[in-house]
Chains A and B, each alone.
Chain A
Amino acid sequence: MLAYLLNLAILLGIAVILAWSLNVLIGFAGIFSVMHAVFYGVGAYVAAQFALHVSSDFVLSTMVAMIVTGALAFLVAVPVLRVREEYFVVAAIGFQMVASTIFITWESATGGMGGLTGIPPAKVFGFELISPAAYLVLTLVCALICVLALLAVVRSPFGRALKALRDDETAAIALGKHPVKLRLIATTIGGAMAAIGGSLYAFYVSFVNPESFTLDYSVLLMAMVIIGGAGSLLGPVLGALFITVFPALLNFLQVPSSVLGPVQQIVYGMMIVLLMLFMPEGLVSAGKLISRRRK
């Protein structure tokens, strides 16, 4: 049971980092990206290759993954950000499909469908992290660094300009802000941060293959941000908690195992629909709703 909970906590930590990284785009820059699993995947593959061929030092591998993924996010954003709103969503889906195909077919880099196996355990300051408890601590430290970095970004003039752009692009332009430049930087930050999640994942499961970085997962990440509440730091945590832990809780329902899967899907889907109907601003708005009712 403890092993199960530790596993769940590590995966939750990774999901929170990914949701935060996507929140930079959706919540602060107003970019509805459905290609985030690509950056997660590239981060995982780069960290895995670095660990397999150069060094399994976690900090070094993660930094290399962040640089490569950040650069890729920047290069992708240059053409993709030229289109807006629904056209951007379609372009992002297209990019996700291209990337998914590359993950499968570029066997020398990704191992194809078979993936990359035998990734060594992460080393931090020379110590190998073998136990799940130690890995959970590493995940929590990464999450802490991410949230501190996000706080610094959100409270900076850059963060305010980004939020201004999200709220009203025309007014932001009138005040001298440059939408394309701001969105490019936001996408680069979001991509680099997703690589931290990718690196953590690759070292944790010691195996990466394309099935973890599909369009489905991009949509799931988007759901985490929206269900939790975009534009806040707590929202993606609640969203990741809901998406990751809720299906696990459904495992404890006293239903025959033959129908457990469909029941899980229906309950899960209904919960999402109800949440969006009654809390369109996400789970993070629950506090606001309660205090309004009390008044």
Chain B
Amino acid sequence: MSLALNELYKSFGGNQVINGVTLQIEDRKVTSLVGPNGAGKTTLFNIVTGFIAVDRGTIHFAGRDLSGLTPQAIKRHGLARTFQNLRLFLDMTVRENVLVALESDMSVNFWSRANLGPVERVLRQVGLWEQREKMAGELSYAERKFLSLARVLATGAPCLLLDEPASGLDGPSLRLFHELIREFKNGGGTVLLIEHNLDIVRDVSDRIVFLDKGRIAAAGTPDEIFSNPVLGELYFGVRVGATGREGPGHAAR
């Protein structure tokens, strides 16, 4: 179920924000997109999930051409996403937020009973089961992050596009995040991740793609990317030594 982006181009008012991106997202792997602000990472997410129409190029997932499809159709084909600013349903309970993700895409169902089994499973997974009757707007920032993850996990989509899911998390929350990504991957899932926390990127990624000015500047394993002296100077803000392993920390700009 790999995701293939082929020669994608997108410009806004003469500004070329995506400039010939060709990328193969491997099945059952975590691929991270990194790069400076304005590199085109979120625009690429919006293109892949159908929120922005591409000027040129094709998108295939599991052999199907997704180019030009609506976000609803793309979700139906197995791609689900989170948003940088979370976009939770704040006036709905935690349980309802997850139920909405689980329920039929047709949405014109008046009669079926809420399927609470999968809701419980997902909410326990992210540690929010005890908070299920709270309004999403009453949750802490970290809890909101995990609700956003619960919602996307509940869709059952085999490929998740996660936009900065771990920013602002620390300590036990970060460990839980790692665990969730690992579980999803081990269960056969594919992840495309945008994340500025480079410690996380290094820890969870199988492959890192460095995007700059709408182009892929480099791609490789975490070791290859983190030891690339040009990228280190450009983005990670560190001088890479002979071993190429100086820790970059949270150096995203």
Contact = CB atoms under 8 A, between A and B. Distances in A.
A23 to B, nearest CB: 14
A84 interface: no
A156 B90 CA distance: 18
Given A167-B92, A176-B76, A161 B87 contact: no
A65 B127 CA distance: 50
A86 interface: no
B83 A174 contact: yes
A157 B89 contact: no
B104 A157 contact: yes
A158 B51 contact: no
Contacts of A161: 100, 103, 107
A260 B126 CA distance: 61
A163 B110 contact: no
Contacts of B89: 163-164, 167-168, 171-172
B71 interface: yes
A160 B92 contact: yes
Interface in B43-90: 49, 51, 71-72, 75-76, 80-81, 83, 87-90
A287 to B, nearest CB: 15
Interface stretch (A101-109, A119-127, A178-186, A218-226): A178-186
Contacts of B107: 157-158, 161, 176-178, 181-182
B105 A177 contact: yes
A191 to B, nearest CB: 17
B105 A170 contact: no
Given A160-B99, A167-B90, A176-B75, 8 more contacts: A157-B104, A164-B89, A173-B71, A174-B80, A176-B107, A182-B107, A182-B108, A231-B91
A2 interface: no
B96 interface: yes
Nearest to A170: B87
B151 interface: yes
A142 interface: no
Instruction: Categorize the interface residue count of chain B.
Output: 20 to 34
Given A160-B92, A167-B91, A168-B89, A176 B72 contact: yes
B91 A175 contact: no
B109 interface: yes
Contacts of B103: 157, 160-161
A160 B100 contact: yes
Looking at chain B's contact residues, the main secondary structure is: loop
A48 to B, nearest CB: 30
B225 to A, nearest CB: 29
B133 to A, nearest CB: 14
B112 interface: yes
A156 B104 CA distance: 11
* Interface-central residue, B71, B100, B112, by most chain A CB under 10 Å: B100
A164 B92 contact: yes
A152 B110 contact: yes
Contacts of B155: 175-176
Nearest to A149: B110
B91 A163 contact: yes
A250 interface: no
A170 B108 CA distance: 18
Contact of B109 (A156, A167, A172, A178): A156
Contacts of B109: 156-158
B51 A185 contact: no
A176 B110 CA distance: 17
Nearest to A153: B110
A168 B87 contact: yes
Given A163-B92, A164-B89, A164-B100, A176 B108 contact: no
Contacts of B76: 176
Contacts of A166: 91
